[in-house]
Structure 1
Amino acid sequence: MTTIDYLISAALILLVIPQIRGTRQTLRNALLPLVAVAAAAAYYLKSFPTEGHDVQLYGATVLVGAILGITCGATTRLSRATDGVAFAQAGVVAAALWIVGMASRAGFEYWASHSGATDIARFSQDHLITGAAAWTAALLLMALAQVLCRLAVVRIRTRQLTSGARVTARV
């Protein structure tokens, strides 16, 4: 891992800070994590292999990312500010899930570039995964799924809250 890799990973993990402090649900605040993951994808994604079982790997990582994102969104507290704009604040569960999702990818990358390279190569060969490009794409798709699903759940709940529908606050 290069210094840039560490900085990108840290930036994605640290996106949890505004979520913990709470943010008004403006389009800008909602899209910031999506823009950050898209920038990381633009930096890392050089190819998108679809041979062997690469597509199944993508499906598995997208599913994990979606579960993390949906749970993050569902456990984010929503309230209305005095001016009627929705305010979202990640609780302990939402923040922990965000950190787990983002840090697990950074940890995998570190492990892959250090002591885990042989194990990953063996696993990839045994399961017909074409190599590093497939793993990179899978991890980026996982991050994108986590961000998109969290965004979708929070936006749906925000719409319910601001339209007057009953929304129960979560942990």
Structure 2
Amino acid sequence: MSFMDWVIDLALIGLVMLQLRGRQLSTKMLLLPIVLVGWAWTHYLRDIPTSGNSLVLIVSATLVGLALGIGAGILTHVYRNADGEVIAQATITAAVLWVLGVGFRLAFQLYATHGGKEAIGRFSIRHDLDTDAWTAAVLLMAFGEVFARTAIVWWRGQAARRQPHQVPARTT
């Protein structure tokens, strides 16, 4: 794992953790996670292997990422405060879903780069997976999670801008 891998993973976790208290929804706040995974995409994704069962792995990982992102987006409160600012406030459950996805990818990257490479290789051979499929799967999972959550929070932010000021009831 490179220094940038750590920065991206920890920044993605930090962005949602900061929202536990509620933060003003801004273009920067929405675009930063997309820029982070976009950087990883351009630096690591060479192709999307389709041989053997590679596409099954990639599609499955992408769907898991989308599901986690949709859950985190739906479970994030988006509302206008008394000053008329649109606020995004992640619930504990939203943060858990987000960290679950980012944490899984971080753990897999650590395993792959610190002793797990041979086991992943054997697993790939047994299940007819191209070794590059893992990179595509992890990146598309991240992109799906980030894109889904960002799209939902953005959409809900647009709806909140059209609503009168309100503060949501506290839920987890």
Task: Identify the TM-score tier after normalising by the shorter chain.
Answer: 0.7 to 0.9
| Structure 2 residue aligned with 1:55 | 55
Deviation string 1:47-91 (CA, Å, 9 cap, x unpaired) is 332222222111101111011101101111222033433210112
SS of 2:82's partner is: coil
Are 2:80 and 2:163, in contact at CA under 8 Å, matched by a contact in 1? no
| Structure 1 residue aligned with 2:95 | 95
| Structure 2 residue aligned with 1:11 | 11
SS of 2:50's partner is: coil
| Structure 1 residue aligned with 2:138 | 139
Supply the AA of the counterpart residue of 1:19: Q
Normalising by structure 1, what TM-score? Answer: 0.86
Are 1:12 and 1:37, in contact at CA under 8 Å, matched by a contact in 2? no
* Unaligned 5+ runs, structure 1: none
Identity, in percent, stands at 40
Are 2:8 and 2:37, in contact at CA under 8 Å, matched by a contact in 1? no
| Structure 1 residue aligned with 2:110 | 110
Answer yes or no: is 1:73 the counterpart of 2:77: no
| Structure 1 residue aligned with 2:159 | 160
Structure 1 CA distance, aligned partners of 2:90 and 2:25? Answer: 13
Supply the AA of the counterpart residue of 2:162: S
Normalising by structure 2, what TM-score? Answer: 0.86
Q: CA RMSD in A?
A: 2.3
Structure 2 CA distance, aligned partners of 1:40 and 1:150? Answer: 18
Deviation string 1:117-159 (CA, Å, 9 cap, x unpaired) is 232112211221110x211111010000001111122122223
Supply the AA of the counterpart residue of 1:161: A
Supply the AA of the counterpart residue of 2:82: T
Alpha-carbon spacing, 1:36–1:5, altered in 2? closer, same or farther (3 Å): closer
Deviation at 1:104, TM superposition (A): 0.9
Runs of 4+ in 1 over 6 A off after TM superposition: none
* Unaligned 5+ runs, structure 2: none
Give the stretch that moved more between structures: 98-107 or 77-86: 77-86
| Structure 2 residue aligned with 1:130 | 130
Are 1:76 and 1:90, in contact at CA under 8 Å, matched by a contact in 2? yes
Deviation string 1:91-114 (CA, Å, 9 cap, x unpaired) is 211112211111110100111123
Deviation string 1:7-29 (CA, Å, 9 cap, x unpaired) is 33323332323322432222222
